[in-house]
Amino acid sequence: MNLIDGKKISLKIQENIAEEVKKITSSGKKPPHLAAVLVGNDGGSETYVAAKIKACGRVGFNSTLIRHPEYVTEEKLLQTIADLNNNSDIDGFIVQLPLPRHINEHKIIEAVLPSKDVDGFHPINVGRMVLNLPCYVSATPYGIVQLLEHYKIETSGKHCVVVGRSHIVGSPMSILMAKNTTLGNCTVTLCHSKTTNLSDYTRSADILICALGSPEFIKADMIKQGAVVVDVGTTRVESTESKNGFKLKGDVMFNEVSQKCSFITPVPGGVGPMTIASLLKNTLLAAKKEIYP
């Protein structure tokens, strides 16, 4: 079994981005600027946003964190987004999901200017991705594609099974893997909670991408010998082993699945760091105005 080291590759990508930032600033231009909007105090969201802000510092980006309390109104949040859209110093921004129930997530996502939507969630970016047009590709699927590319994992003609059909991970992932591009050309099956006999599909996967958010759901008897397994899941579970009282668990039972597969991403240290690297890449593209001149 080969461990797919997302952390290492993410740091390499960040080094390359830092080099580009140096070139930008030494030519007299301002560094790229990413803003993050965080609503409430959810522990997971706090951690993810802190990691994104820290990564900005590592590559030389400016960053701004805008916090709102859990009870913020939709109107107020929309105003924040309008301000960020109109602020020419901000190249791109994200609104950390999930949002509280009283806020319409779709309305928020659609309010972000597509040219600043570095998470790649806006319908314009999703549509452009489907049509193979220049766009910001959703950070997690984009990160996974880069991992497969780095490890030279053959995708053409392979059966890729994606478990989970969310708008931010599973669905865009399935589209990318089926594309007529060097990294694609898979025959894709997209599974979800209504899929019957899930194991029949997962066992036939050459590449299995798990994004369900159900800790250790995928067991060794659900995969084919030699499969490539990508574990997107990150569920915080209570743990007495760590100082903060929790640890992250993936969707895959790592100990047993790793005995049977050819490649696997660990949790943490697999897909998560690549999501951050992709977000930084998208922000650099936004600063260079390469997608939306």
- CA-to-CA distance for 80 and 102, rounded, in angstroms? 17
Q: Per CB under 6 A, does 193 bind ligand NAP?
A: yes
The interface with ligand NAP within residues 31-50 (CB under 6 A) comprises none
- Other beta carbons less than 10 A from residue 102's beta carbon: 10
CB 275 within 8 A of CB 134: no
Binding-site member from 13, 272, 286, 287 for ligand NAP (CB under 6 A): 272
Binding-site member from 87, 214, 258, 262 for ligand NAP (CB under 6 A): 214
- Residue 66, C-beta contacts closer than 8 angstroms, at least 6 positions apart: 35, 36, 37, 38, 80, 84
Question: Which residue is associated with the tokens 């049509």?
Answer: 131
- Both structure tokens of 279: 């977000």
Query: Which amino acid is present at 83?
Result: D
| Nearer to ligand NAP (CB atom), residue 8 or residue 29 | 8
The interface with ligand NAP within residues 151-170 (CB under 6 A) comprises 163-166, 168-170
| Nearer to ligand NAP (CB atom), residue 75 or residue 238 | 238
> Is 52 one of the catalytic residues?
yes
Binding-site member from 211, 223, 253, 279 for ligand NAP (CB under 6 A): 211
- CA-to-CA distance for 14 and 279, rounded, in angstroms? 11
Q: What is the CA radius of gyration of the chain?
A: 19
- Least distance in angstroms from the C-beta of 112 to ligand NAP: 18
Alpha helices in 137-246 (DSSP H): 139-150, 170-178, 198-202
Q: Per CB under 6 A, does 147 bind ligand NAP?
A: no
- Both structure tokens of 66: 């805008």
Kindly name the residue from 5, 14, 91, 96 that is annotated as catalytic: 96
> Is 179 one of the catalytic residues?
no
Degrees to nearest 5, angle at CA 195 with 190 and 201:
60
| Nearer to ligand NAP (CB atom), residue 177 or residue 271 | 271
- Least distance in angstroms from the C-beta of 254 to ligand NAP: 14
Binding-site member from 31, 40, 60, 213 for ligand NAP (CB under 6 A): 213
| Nearer to ligand NAP (CB atom), residue 180 or residue 197 | 197
Active site residues: 52, 96, 119
Chain contacts with ligand NAP (rule: CB under 6 A): 140, 163-166, 168-170, 191-195, 198, 211-214, 232-235, 271-272, 275
